[in-house]
Amino acid sequence: MKKGIHPEDYRTVVFKDMTNEYTFLGRSTANSQETIKWEDGNEYPLIKLDISHKSHPFFTGVVQFVDTAGRIDKFNSRYARPKK
């Protein structure tokens, strides 16, 4: 690895998956304005995630289907050529 390109200021933070409220403790250099009180009684910076291993379809095995048929019908009705 190249020297001097990795940050040195890692700190303990709480990551929170916003889709299912799952939280876990880890280390990061990401900035955060929010804090949260953890199970050990200490307060840590909070980093909100859109997806984690508890909500990602690859890890959960649950696939969320998108209503493509409804979207296609809506598109066709909006942009269809007028019938003669």
- Could you report the per-residue pLDDT of 40-49, keeping only the tens digit for each? 999 999 999 8
Annotated domain spans of the chain: 11-79
Q: What integer pLDDT is reported at residue 60 of this predicted model?
A: 56
The per-residue pLDDT for range 22-69, each reduced to its tens digit, is: 899 999 999 999 999 999 999 999 999 888 777 765 555 566 555 556
Q: What is the mean pLDDT of residues 70-80?
A: 77
Q: Read out DSSP for 11-22?
A: EEEEEEETTTTE
> Structure pTM?
0.62
Query: Cα separation of 20 and 53, whole Å?
Result: 11
CA atoms within 13 A on the CB side of 38: 17
Nearest to 60 by CA among 20, 27, 32: 20
